[in-house]
Amino acid sequence: MRPMIRQLDEATANRIAAGEVVERPASAVKELVENALDAGATRITIDIEAGGKRLIRVSDNGWGMTPEDLPLALSRHATSKIDGSDLLAISSFGFRGEALPSLGAVGRLTITSRAEGADGAVIAVSGGKVTPPRPAAANQGTVVELRDLFFATPARLKFLRTDRAEAQAVADVIRRLAMAEPFVGFHLTADGRDIFRADAEQGELFGAYQTRLTRVMGVDFIDNTLPIDAERDGLTLTGFAALPTFSRGAAVAQHVYVNGRPVRDKLLTGALKAGYMDVLAPGRHAAAVLYLACDPQLVDVNVHPAKAEVRFRDPQAARGLVVSALRHALAHAGHRASSTVGDATLQAFRPEPAPQPTPQPVPQSWRPDTPSGASIRAALDLQSPILDGGFAEAPSARYEPVADETPTNAPLGAARAQIHENYIIAQTEDGLIVVDQHAAHERLVYERLKAQAATRAIPAQAMLIPDIVELPEADATRILSITDELAQMGLVIEPFGPGAIAIRETPAMLARLNTKALINDILDDLVDQGTSDRLRARLDAVLSSMACHGSIRSGRRMSADEMNALLREMERTPRSGQCNHGRPTWVKLRLSDIERLFGRSD
């Protein structure tokens, strides 16, 4: 039989909406805390039990609601955030009017609220059934209690993780929101235990961000980050980006905000990755907190019910701003490397507890008061390298006399020695620096080659027989739209009939290039991110290889003048704090830390 078209009832519609908006307890917490922020709250307390499955309570000191507002708040598509005339003029977190009715459809929801000059009231909804509001004692603000999440849809409970994992997810949500709202205090408890607390910060915005990030991300993050402040085409980017040597094994320390909203957007995360291109080791991920602000008309946040994705009117402008700002900051960091590298080095230097020797009986003939014992002792003394003035083995360190005018107040100090024909020891005013001469010179040569390549077109080599790559017509149109950008890097393509392109020239430095695979990789990037850095990355890889072969090799002895010249060039060269593979080129040890190792500190 022909299926009939039916109007879904309100309860079913709310449960469907809950499936889109409320995935787990952390999703419910996010919606409720964002509502509190939209209500102008400056203090928000979150209490959860059993990972949020048994209880979620969010209390705020915001504007609150009147008794007449409460029933409307539980109606679908009822909101105070927008008037519906312009869906691009959204300056609040919420605007769909789905969160509260969705939560009431899958749990037991109670809202107690009081607005300034109005009486307090409470309203309850359980499994979609609403009870009328009734008077209640309340301070100004709102308290939302959600008990027994998903009791009305028990199948969803099977997809939840352990209480501990769900509580951790809630804490991650609160930390992420707290990083964007430094003037709001947050307090999270789980089963009565404090999990996270951040009081409202004071002062100007940038300083408040810095203090809040210190609380959330830790002191090491702030100590090893670069300030970001850039503007272009109506977009403003601020925040903090970590040095490449302060990288992580996963993208867990990457946080991007658009107009204060935490997002996980492919375009922006791809831009962040491109900004750190050729300064990170394989498998490492940058740490950064970036705040992108623009006119709400320039970005559409109404892309996904969870509001985690956004769409820019000019995506390339947003991407270009992020990439250029990061590369500019990293270049101006010069030779700087993260402080945690030196800390790890000091930990490696700490002596291990010496094993206690087991007392052994001394043979009668070895006692020093006997004739044989005295002769053995004399023989040992004669063979002592201290008395002999020499060493049992040839030293692997070589000291170079340095002229007195060599400055120790320079950032990387004055070269004093070379050990193992690869590591330069330099003295600074407050410690010493160890430099990997091959890694450092490799970066210097690489940056020189990149600068030369940027000042002139990449040399191209004409193909005797053009490569013909057949593609779907949409893909052919897409790749031909960036013909000029590819030509600047030595890859010359042109149309070759419907659904095909001809590759006429390729970069001369890329021998044995698989053109079809390269074109397909670029197309994948264009579909996923709207742009591609594949060809640039391959060219940079060739330049990196050339730099590796053209740099000072390990095992080469360097004079004092050569070592100092290398140090001075490192101080002038951008990104010299890490080699082409993302590893640090130098390590600093403070004199106070060295003295502490030997027990000389007070």
Q: What is the 3-state secondary structure (H, E, C) of 333-363?
A: CCCCCCHHHHHHHHHHHCCCCCCCCCCCCCC
Whether 482 and 511 have beta carbons less than 8 Å apart is answered as no
| Contacts of residue 58, Cβ cutoff 8 Å, sequence gap at least 6 | 29, 32, 33, 35, 36, 44, 45, 46, 143, 144
Whether 285 and 251 have beta carbons less than 8 Å apart is answered as yes
DSSP letters spanning 51-89: GGTSEEEEEE-S----TTHHHHHTSTT--SS--SS-TT-
Rounded alpha-carbon distances, angstroms, from residue 527 to 73, 266, 388, 522: 40, 11, 74, 9
Q: What local confidence, expressed as pLDDT, does residue 7 receive? A: 78
What SS3 state is found at 111?
A: strand
Sheet holding 261-263, edge to edge: 225-232, 235-242, 288-294, 254-258, 261-263
Domains for the chain: give ranges and CATH numbers. Answer: 10-198 (3.30.565.10), 218-332 (3.30.230.10), 334-349+394-602 (3.30.1370.100)
Tokens 């997810």 locate to: 169
Percent of the chain with pLDDT strictly greater than 90: 44
Sheet holding 414-419, edge to edge: 397-399, 414-419, 423-428, 431-436, 586-590
Predicted TM-score (pTM) of the model is 0.77
Whether 317 and 232 have beta carbons less than 8 Å apart is answered as yes
| Residue 52 identity (one-letter amino acid) | G
Query: Among 171, 123, 125, which residue's Cα sits nearest to residue 26?
Result: 171
Tokens representing 166 are 């769900």
Query: Among 258, 346, 404, 421, which residue's Cα sits nearest to residue 594?
Result: 346
Round to whole Å and give the CA distance between 209 and 114.
31
DSSP letters spanning 158-219: GG---HHHHHHHHHHHHHHHHHH-TTSEEEEEETTEEEEEEPPP-SSHHHHHHHHHHHHH-H
Q: What local confidence, expressed as pLDDT, does residue 266 receive? A: 86
Q: What local confidence, expressed as pLDDT, does residue 408 receive? A: 78
List 111's β-bridge partners, or say none.
123, 144
Longest dimension (CA), the chain: 117
Tokens representing 89 are 């003029």
Whether 52 and 28 have beta carbons less than 8 Å apart is answered as yes
| Contacts of residue 251, Cβ cutoff 8 Å, sequence gap at least 6 | 269, 285
Q: What local confidence, expressed as pLDDT, does residue 396 receive? A: 56
Whether 471 and 501 have beta carbons less than 8 Å apart is answered as yes
Q: Which residues of the chain have pLDDT under 50?
A: 365-368, 371-395
Question: Is residue 415 packed enough to be buried (19+ CB in 10 Å), middle (13-18) or exposed (0-12)?
Answer: buried
| Residue 177 identity (one-letter amino acid) | L
